[in-house]
């Protein structure tokens, strides 16, 4: 059924039925002029927004509506998590072409709801407008963090270790597989990573409870770019040990098939939503010594922070090359 048949209010009614907005700290959810929330005592509020624009961030040729819903919320939750916080509430603004079907919007909300439940981020409202021929999904999320636990990009210091969670490269592989209409079979993990990124909410909370993380950022624009942000905002340089960066197996296979260097995927794959963070060497050593052999938070040390005037370099084999020489740094020191 076309959107025009149900109209704005008919659609909002359906949306309201599809999402759960009940939670002890939601006094009023969807249905009034604004949501009413109970603030948490002694917590700071984190507040973020991110949009997905058709033709820029997604392509309806291969992106299922449900995955879009998931992703639109997940990318916001990732920003909250990267600040050391936990997500609480979200609002969704939709600009939809009249050609969309009601069922498409319902699928979108099924994805939003799934993500909302997975990370306990309650949807409490939104806005619905018509657009000409492309869709835009904009989500804003409020989260909370204890005062001493905020992890910004500017807390790194000289001599600290640079670490990354998980494995990199997969999201870009997923995007390239979809764009090129390649058989997804062997690359399903990468495709899913691109379509429905998971957020390391629990893992990051565990990490910062155990280890004194000094700065943190999520990898949404690619490792090269995010390293640049931490360096610039902390007033430092860095040496990245390329061989240490963990790479997903599918990335190796795909890069080989395309005759591309793996480095390109390591440094430029965006939308990974892994975390890049720094810790003091002493803190890391102390923490490591107390770890049972089997237990390991899944992260890898990939570099070291150095003085700003030493710049940002990549160490590969015996060579040390400026990151800028790869042409991948979208940043200027
Ligand atoms: P107003 O004109 O006062 O902004 P709306 O008619 O836009 O009110 O919205 C009515 C209610 O429905 C509000 O509570 C709003 O948050 C909610 N709402 C509107 N669009 C959406 C949407 N796309 N997703 C979730 N809630 C929505
Ligand atoms: Mg409104």
List the chain domain ranges: 3-146, 161-322
For residue 332, the model assigns a pLDDT of 37
| pLDDT score recorded for residue 19 | 86
- Tell me the pLDDT tens digit for each residue of 239-284: 999 999 999 999 999 999 999 999 999 999 999 999 999 999 999 9
pLDDT tens digits, 66-96: 999 999 999 999 999 999 999 999 999 999 9
* DSSP 3-state of 214: strand
Beta strands 236-241; 299-307: pairing state: antiparallel
Can you say whether the dihedral through the CA atoms of 115, 117, 118, 123 is positive or negative?
positive
Mean pLDDT of 105-113: 96
Residue 24 Cα, ligand 2 centroid: separation in angstroms?
Answer: 24
Distance CA 179, CA 188 (A): 14
- Mean pLDDT, to the nearest integer, of 188-203? 97
Output the residue whose Cα is nearest ligand 1's atom 27: 126
The CA–CA distances, whole Å, from 177 to 71, 187, 197, 212 equal: 18, 8, 16, 38
N- to C-terminal Cα separation, the chain: 52
The pLDDT, as a whole number, for residue 333 is: 31
Q: How many angstroms is it from 137 CA to the middle of ligand 2?
A: 15
CA–centroid distance, residue 109 to ligand 2 (Å): 18
Instruction: Look at residue 330 and tell me whether its pLDDT is greater than 50.
Output: no
Same fold, 3-146 and 161-322: no
CA of 15 relative to ligand 2 center, distance in Å: 14
How much of the chain exceeds pLDDT 70, in percent?
96
- Contact of 161 with 299, CB cutoff 8 Å: no
Query: Ligand 1 centroid vs 210 CA: distance in angstroms?
Result: 41
With cut-offs at 50, 70 and 90, classify the pLDDT of residue 17.
confident
Choices 3.40.50.300, 3.90.1150.10, 3.30.450.40, 3.30.1330.10: CATH for 3-146: 3.30.1330.10
Helix extents (H) in 83-200: 102-118, 170-179, 188-195
Q: Which residue has its alpha carbon closest to ligand 1 atom 22?
A: 126
Ligand 1, pocket residues at CB < 6 Å = 12, 15, 30-33, 92, 94, 125-128
For the chain, what is the mean pLDDT? 93
Separation CA 272–CA 199 (nearest Å): 9
CA–CA separation, 200 vs 299, rounded Å? Answer: 11
β-bridge mates for residue 26, sequence order? 37
Q: Which fold has domain 161-322?
A: Phosphoribosyl-aminoimidazole Synthetase; Chain A, domain 2 (3.90.650)
296 pLDDT band, cuts 50/70/90, is low
Q: Average pLDDT for residues 193-215, to the nearest whole number? A: 96
- What count of Cα atoms within 13 Å lies in the side-chain half-sphere of residue 174? 22
Q: Which of 18, 110, 127, 140 to mutate to test the pocket of ligand 1 (most atoms within 8 A of CB)?
A: 127
For the cut 80, the answer to whether the pLDDT of residue 294 exceeds it is no
C-alpha 305/C-alpha 157 separation (Å) is 7
């Amino acid at each position: 059924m076309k959107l025009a048949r149900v109209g704005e209010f008919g659609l909002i009614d359906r949306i309201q039925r599809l999402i759960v907005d009940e939670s002890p700290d939601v006094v009023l959810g969807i249905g009034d002029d604004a949501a009413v929330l109970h603030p948490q005592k002694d917590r700071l509020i984190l507040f973020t927004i991110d949009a997905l624009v058709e033709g820029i961030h997604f392509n309806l040729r291969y992106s299922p509506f449900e995955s879009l819903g998931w992703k639109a919320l997940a990318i916001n939750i990732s920003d909250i998590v990267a600040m050391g916080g936990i997500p609480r509430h979200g609002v969704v603004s939709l600009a939809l072409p009249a050609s969309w079907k009601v069922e498409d919007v319902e699928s979108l909300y099924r994805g939003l709801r799934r993500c909302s439940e997975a990370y306990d981020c309650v949807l409490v409202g939104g806005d619905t407008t018509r657009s000409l021929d492309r869709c835009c999904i904009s989500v804003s999320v409020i989260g909370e963090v204890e005062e001493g636990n905020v992890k910004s990009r500017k807390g790194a210091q000289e001599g600290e270790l640079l670490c990354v969670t998980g494995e990199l490269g997969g999201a870009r592989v997923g995007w390239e597989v979809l764009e090129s209409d390649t058989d997804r079979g062997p690359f399903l993990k990468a495709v899913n990573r691109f379509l429905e990124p998971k957020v390391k909410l629990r893992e990051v909370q565990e990490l910062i409870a155990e280890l004194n993380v000094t700065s943190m950022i999520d990898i949404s624009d690619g490792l090269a770019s995010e390293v640049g942000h931490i360096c610039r905002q902390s007033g430092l340089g860095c040496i990245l040990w390329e061989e240490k960066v963990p790479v997903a197996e599918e990335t190796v296979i795909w890069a080989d098939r395309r005759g591309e260097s793996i480095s390109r995927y390591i440094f430029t794959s965006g939308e990974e939503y892994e975390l890049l963070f720094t810790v003091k060497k002493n803190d890391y050593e102390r923490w490591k010594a107390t770890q049972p052999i089997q237990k390991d938070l899944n992260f890898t040390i990939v570099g070291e922070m150095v003085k700003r005037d030493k710049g940002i370099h990549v160490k590969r084999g015996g060579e040390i090359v400026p990151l800028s020489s790869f042409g991948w740094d979208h940043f200027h020191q």
